[in-house]
Amino acid sequence: MSATLEIRGMCKSFGGIVVADSIDLDLMAGRVLGLIGPNGAGKTSLFNLVCGVVKPDAGSVSLDGRSLEALPTYERARMGLARTWQNLRLFPSLSVMDNLMLGPRAYSADSLMDVFFRPSQIRAHEAEARDRALDILERTGLSPIAHSRVQDISFGQQKLVGVARALMNEARCLLLDEPMAGVEGQTYALIQKAVRDIAASGVAICVVEHNVAFIRDLCDEGVFMFAGKVLARGSVEQLINDPHLTELYFGT
Amino acid sequence: MDYVFTILILIGLFVILASSFDLVIGHCGLISIAHPIFYAIGAYISAMLSKQSGMPVPLSILCGGVGALLASALVAVPALRVSGDYLLIASIGFQLGLIELAKHFHEIGGAGGLTNIPSFLIKDFGRESYVVLVLALAALTVLFIRWLTQGPYGRMMTAMRDDELAFSMLGRNAIWVKVAVFAIGSGIAGIAGGLYAHYFRFLEPDQFGLLQSSAVLTMVVVGGMRTTMGPVIGAIVLQLMPQVITFFNLPPSILGPLQGLLFTGLVLFFMFVRPQGLLPAADLWVGRKQQGDAGQSAKEARS
């Protein structure tokens, strides 16, 4: 089976600091890969390189066999790449619902021609997106706060909105950057269930997370990163119990 | 009576200018203060086309709008590809550079100004007709901007203003949205310029400098950014205030600087005391209800 997302020879350094050192990584459809490593290992940087937020020094990324290299971030997203952010990055001036409404790969008002000359098409598009958003809000338990401002909801709910917004893309590949940081209780279970459901629908998922229990419960496989390098790949259990990696992780 | 008509026309024109400027700087968050140069481009193009080639005035005004739209895209595309901040520098450079250029271009009147611009409507229907035209177009502009900003495109502008990177990651093209909004705002200003030219029938490059930039900016800030009526109120207040001062019969050497001081002082005052302006904008974007929402209510009723 070929990989959904293929990263080959990814290299990036900022001055003398290497954040990616010849990284090769495959994300497979329907599987969840956990990226583990201490702070500064280059996990988020790898996401930024894949999304085109940062330009790599060398290396390539392809999604379903199509190269993403020459594409700006928004076109990568339109091809089916979605992500969440460590620091949320929700739109505070919009309600939860409107945050989601902007998420589909093709947005109703992407073309100004449609805005001015095809209002019925815009309305149909909006209604369709609204139905999808309502469905996702229901599945993630966010329906009661659909019309709230994102500043007025709890941090855990905000994280969930981030995941829900990424789901609007109907992505082929989903990158989750610390979805569990600062999340507890019921929201924890909701995010966990959401990620499981997405994977079951055939999406390739990569999760950066420090919550070991979450990684262990959810990931089919783990990758340990350190100083921009992939040091080990295997089952999460294997990685967690490796004394050498544990030493690198905790710096003891 | 002519005096009142002139004031009404100026109010109408500044409502158009301030509302379209609010679209750019308020709704879209694009920092540029060179709005009057696109007003000037529209005015000059329309004046020259009707004067030199005898083009019918309505058509020449439309051409002025298109010219301003294209010119603004020319400035915005390279500036916005680098970063939003460059738009401010590029647009001011464009504004001041073009004014200097116009002063040395004798074909368009040079520093002395362009005179004998053909008038429109006034000869056949009187000045009232022009007042009606300008005020109608001002109302149309306000309604158009409200329609645009409360629809799905407005949702996009709001999100992009909040967080451009997250916006791009959802598959939205931020540069295109910025260039499009900047061009639409400038195109509207260009049409206002044409309306100005054919009423006052005289254009001078210095009219469209930084003083006018500060006037339009003040109207938006004082009225309230990102509101439908804010720029309208701002334009009316700021247009009437200098008229009140003129009644004091001050010499021109004091009157000019006093008006400049007034604009700057008002901006400073509002920045410190009431940064949201006279009409504060809601901090949550709410789009207009659409027919498509029927699907929403059906679904929500079920849940």
Would you list the domain boundaries of chain A? 5-250
Q: How far is CA A248 from CA A219, A221, A227, A251, B25, in A?
A: 21, 19, 10, 5, 49
Q: Tell me: the pLDDT tens digits for B159-188?
A: 999 999 999 999 999 999 999 999 999 999
CA distance B237 to chain A (A): 29
Asked if residue B289 is part of any domain, the answer here is yes
Q: Tell me: the pLDDT tens digits for A105-115?
A: 999 899 999 99
Q: What are phi and psi of A108, to 5 degrees?
A: -55, -40
Q: Tell me, what DSSP letter sits at residue B27?
A: I
Residues of chain B contacting A105 with CB distance shorter than 8 Å: 171
Q: Which of A87, A90, A94, A145 to mutate to test the interface with B (most CBs of B within 10 A)?
A: A94
Q: Provide the pLDDT for residue B301.
A: 43
Kindly give the pairing relationship between strand A204-208 and strand A32-36: parallel
What CA–CA distance (Å, rounded) separates A99 from A129? 12
Q: Provide the pLDDT for residue B245.
A: 82
Instruction: Tell me the helix, strand and coil percentages in chain B, rounded to 5.
Output: 75, 0, 20
- Domains in chain B: how many in total? 1
- Topology classification of domain A5-250: Rossmann fold (3.40.50)
Q: Tell me: the pLDDT tens digits for A26-55?
A: 999 999 999 999 988 999 999 999 999 999
Asked if residue B82 is part of any domain, the answer here is yes
Tokens 């005035």 found at: B57
Asked if residue B38 is part of any domain, the answer here is yes
Instruction: Give the chain B residue nearest A47 (alpha carbons).
Output: B169
- Whether A83 sits inside 8 A of B169 (CB atoms) is yes
Identify the CATH number of the domain in which residue B187 sits.
1.10.3470
- Examine the pLDDT at B297 and tell me if it is beyond 60: no
Which residues are within 8 A (CB) of A132 and not within 5 positions of it... i.e. 6 or more apart?
A104, A168
Asked if residue B74 is part of any domain, the answer here is yes
Q: How large is the average pLDDT for residues A174-178? A: 96
3-class DSSP state of A105: coil
Retrieve residue A74's tokens. 């928004």
Q: How many CA atoms lie within 13 A of B268 on its CB side?
A: 6
CA distance B97 to chain A (A): 31
Q: Tell me: the pLDDT tens digits for B188-205?
A: 999 999 999 999 999 999
Question: What is chain A's mean pLDDT, rounded?
Answer: 93
Instruction: Give the chain B residue nearest A74 (alpha carbons).
Output: B171
Asked if residue B261 is part of any domain, the answer here is no
Q: Which of A78, A99, A128 sits opposite B171 (nearest CB)?
A: A78
- Examine the pLDDT at B300 and tell me if it is beyond 70: no
Asked if residue B164 is part of any domain, the answer here is yes
Residues of chain B contacting A53 with CB distance shorter than 8 Å: 165, 169
Asked if residue B252 is part of any domain, the answer here is no
Strands (E), chain A: 5-14, 17-27, 32-36, 58-63, 66-67, 81-83, 173-177, 204-208, 221-226, 229-234
Instruction: Give the chain A residue nearest B162 (alpha carbons).
Output: A91
CA distance B244 to chain A (A): 39
Tokens 């140069």 found at: B37
Question: What is chain B's mean pLDDT, rounded?
Answer: 90
User: Which of these ranges, A68-82, A209-223, B277-291, has the smallest mean pLDDT?
Assistant: B277-291
Residues of chain A contacting B174 with CB distance shorter than 8 Å: 74
Residue B218's domain spans which residues?
A: 2-239+273-302
- Whether A98 sits inside 8 A of B285 (CB atoms) is yes
Confidence of residue B294 (pLDDT cuts 50, 70, 90): very low
Compare B247 and A175 and report the one with higher pLDDT. A175
Instruction: Give the chain A residue nearest B301 (alpha carbons).
Output: A134
- Whether A105 sits inside 8 A of B152 (CB atoms) is no
Q: Provide the pLDDT for residue A1.
A: 66
CA B153 to chain centre: 19
Q: Tell me: the pLDDT tens digits for A188-226?
A: 888 888 899 999 999 999 999 988 888 998 999 999 999
Taking every pair of C-alpha atoms in chain B, what is the biggest distance, in angstroms? 72
User: Which of these ranges, B41-55, B86-100, B128-142, B251-265, has the smallest mean pLDDT?
Assistant: B251-265
Q: How large is the average pLDDT for residues B69-96? A: 89
Which residues are within 8 A (CB) of B45 and not within 5 positions of it... i.e. 6 or more apart?
B60, B63, B64, B67, B68, B190, B194
